[in-house]
Chains A and B, each alone.
Chain A
Amino acid sequence: MNTLRVKELLYDLQEFYMMSVRGLLGIFRKPFYFNDTIEQMDYAGAGSFLIIVLVSLFVGMALSLQLSAELSIMGLKNYTGKIVGISIIRELGPMVVAVVYTGRVGAGIASELGSMVLGHQVDTLRVFGVDPVKKLVTPRIISSLIMLPALTIIGDMVSLLGSYYIAVFISHQSATFFWSSIHQVLTFQNVFSGSFKPFIFGFLVTCVCCFMGLSTRGGSQGLRKSTTQAVVLSIIMIIVVDFVLTRILLYVLGFSV
């Protein structure tokens, strides 16, 4: 029984790898499904904008509040801007946006593809000679590779604004000092570190959710299972990959730990 499960797991991993590579290579191969890509970008980008703004705003405000309270005790509350800036740009911004993106877009991808499998729509594509990976996965990968980094930049900006509001209007810090601290942390290393991660997260989340959706079996219960697994796996993957990327980027960009 265990051998069978290991075999199934290895087979699934192989299928996941094949689908991800074919989905990525599909970007450079004809036919190009331009309209599907635009539709996905609208769903993933424009559709997620408000929720990302809302979540990022409160994350920035909460972080600023916590830091202001703790740093005031040590008489260092003017450093709030710098610490908040580094945390948001390098770490929290990309991760929070990716997690929210998974909850909204990833779950949507898994359930949509899952119901297409159960409703024989994917089989219909295959019968019509259309590659389901090219038609369904590639536009979603392109969409995530463009929209998640864009949403991360917007999320970072909103978080910093929320943080500014708390630091200046609640904690009564100097606005000039706050923005000059933020300006100081906007170095190439920090910005690169924060803007590289969303590309990887976007690709991984999309591939995991597409794979889980396309592997759906067994009616509505199967759909529930595959959607839940897609979201849980994606979030775990974001957190683990974030750690690995942070370690690699710190090394590559010359930070000493």
Chain B
Amino acid sequence: MIRFDQVSLAYNSINVLDGVSFSVDFSERVAILGGSGYGKTTILKLILGLIRPDSGRIFIDDDDITGKAEDELRVPRMKFSIVFQEGALFDSLNVKENVAFCLREYSRLTEEEIDQKVREILRVVDVEAAIDLTPEELSGGMHRRVAIARALAACEPKMFLYDEPTSGLDPVNADNICKLIVDLANGGKGFMIVTHKVTDALKVAERFMFLRDGKIQLDGNRKELLGATDPDIQQFLSELQCLTKMQGLKAD
């Protein structure tokens, strides 16, 4: 379980998070919504201990990671696997080597076993044909898929973290990535997805948090999100209303 207790963080004296508290179980499917610069990605980085809060405490399975040194963070980090925005694939490695990265670091598998496992994972995310390509040769959608494949190859994570996994993708590719995220979660492992696309969030998540002014303005299920009266959330949902109108016109 992830628990934030009154976590605050400021960048250049601008409050990004202001006393944020919440708990998320590893099996939950959570979407963090909010505009650019509202601290969505910051939450993921705090969970992984990549940055430290100015105040407050962060617990991973009741283990306080707030003041831990880099070496001590290795164990709590192993509980997660993250897909960063744009994928963050290693440019100098091809697709196979990117996916095999963790396997080479932490397992004692033979070259043949690694090759077999990489192909198996790439087949799950449907990019096996790209095994020998370099990241610069991949399309946006393939890039994300390979990044998800690399996250899958990590050492048995309990939860997946996705940072804007569909940003910059065309609707078809974005939809495919959403389906992949749901398929992977069907195995029982939850995820936390950070996005500003309400439609994508609604496709994959069951619990929604809306961030604004460093605070969680809403933390609830689909019904609560869609029924929210807060004007900021309403404005955020306008994308959805627009889509509904378009679907109505199409039906007419």
Chain A residues near B (Cβ < 8 Å): 31, 39, 116, 119-121, 123-124, 126-131
Please name all residues of chain B whose beta carbon is closer than 8 Å to the beta carbon of A39 when the two chains form the complex.
92
- Given A126-B50, A128-B154, A120:B102 Cβ within 8 A: no
| Contact assessment for A123 and B86 in the assembled complex, using a CB-CB cutoff below 8 Å | no
CB distance from A214 to the nearest CB of B (A): 13
> B246: CB under 8 A from chain A?
no
- Given A119-B88, A129-B105, A130-B105, A124:B78 Cβ within 8 A: no
Please name all residues of chain B whose beta carbon is closer than 8 Å to the beta carbon of A127 when the two chains form the complex.
48, 50, 77, 80-82
Chain A residue nearest to B88 (CB atoms) is A120
Chain B residues near A (Cβ < 8 Å): 45, 48, 50, 70, 74, 77-78, 80-82, 84-86, 88-92, 101-102, 105-106, 154
A-B contacts, 9 listed (Cβ < 8 Å):
A120-B86, A121-B90, A121-B91, A123-B50, A124-B82, A126-B50, A127-B48, A128-B105, A129-B77
A120 to B88, CA, bound (A): 6
Please name all residues of chain B whose beta carbon is closer than 8 Å to the beta carbon of A120 when the two chains form the complex.
84-86, 88
| Contact assessment for B88 and A124 in the assembled complex, using a CB-CB cutoff below 8 Å | yes
CB distance from A232 to the nearest CB of B (A): 25
A12 to B80, CA, bound (A): 30
A120 to B143, CA, bound (A): 14
A127 to B92, CA, bound (A): 18
Please name all residues of chain A whose beta carbon is closer than 8 Å to the beta carbon of B92 when the two chains form the complex.
39
Which of B78, B84, B102, B105 lies in contact with A123, CB distance below 8 A? Answer: B84
CB distance from B165 to the nearest CB of A (A): 13
| Contact assessment for B86 and A119 in the assembled complex, using a CB-CB cutoff below 8 Å | yes
CB distance from B158 to the nearest CB of A (A): 14
| Contact assessment for A129 and B74 in the assembled complex, using a CB-CB cutoff below 8 Å | yes
- Given A129-B105, A130-B105, A124:B77 Cβ within 8 A: no
**Extra contacts besides A120-B88, A121-B90, A124-B90 (4): CB < 8 Å:** A120-B86, A129-B74, A129-B77, A131-B70
A123 to B73, CA, bound (A): 13
A39 to B97, CA, bound (A): 15
Please name all residues of chain A whose beta carbon is closer than 8 Å to the beta carbon of B45 when the two chains form the complex.
123
CB distance from A107 to the nearest CB of B (A): 17
A41 to B52, CA, bound (A): 36
A31 to B70, CA, bound (A): 17
A116 to B50, CA, bound (A): 15
A127 to B90, CA, bound (A): 14
CB distance from B246 to the nearest CB of A (A): 34
Please name all residues of chain A whose beta carbon is closer than 8 Å to the beta carbon of B90 when the two chains form the complex.
121, 124
A131 to B70, CA, bound (A): 9
Most B Cβ at <10 Å: residue of A39, A116, A123, A129: A129
Please name all residues of chain A whose beta carbon is closer than 8 Å to the beta carbon of B89 when the two chains form the complex.
121
CB distance from A42 to the nearest CB of B (A): 12
Please name all residues of chain B whose beta carbon is closer than 8 Å to the beta carbon of A121 when the two chains form the complex.
88-91
Please name all residues of chain B whose beta carbon is closer than 8 Å to the beta carbon of A124 when the two chains form the complex.
82, 84, 88, 90
Which of A31, A123, A130 lies in contact with B88, CB distance below 8 A? Answer: A123
Please name all residues of chain A whose beta carbon is closer than 8 Å to the beta carbon of B74 when the two chains form the complex.
129
A128 to B105, CA, bound (A): 9
A120 to B87, CA, bound (A): 8
CB distance from B155 to the nearest CB of A (A): 8
Please name all residues of chain A whose beta carbon is closer than 8 Å to the beta carbon of B84 when the two chains form the complex.
120, 123-124
A127 to B45, CA, bound (A): 10
CB distance from A130 to the nearest CB of B (A): 6
A131 to B88, CA, bound (A): 17
Which of A31, A116, A128, A131 lies in contact with B102, CB distance below 8 A? Answer: A128
| Contact assessment for A126 and B77 in the assembled complex, using a CB-CB cutoff below 8 Å | yes
CB distance from A25 to the nearest CB of B (A): 14
A130 to B105, CA, bound (A): 8
CB distance from B132 to the nearest CB of A (A): 18
A121 to B85, CA, bound (A): 11
CB distance from B44 to the nearest CB of A (A): 10
A165 to B88, CA, bound (A): 52
A39 to B92, CA, bound (A): 10
Most B Cβ at <10 Å: residue of A116, A119, A120: A120
Chain B residue nearest to A131 (CB atoms) is B70
A39 to B90, CA, bound (A): 15
A128 to B89, CA, bound (A): 13
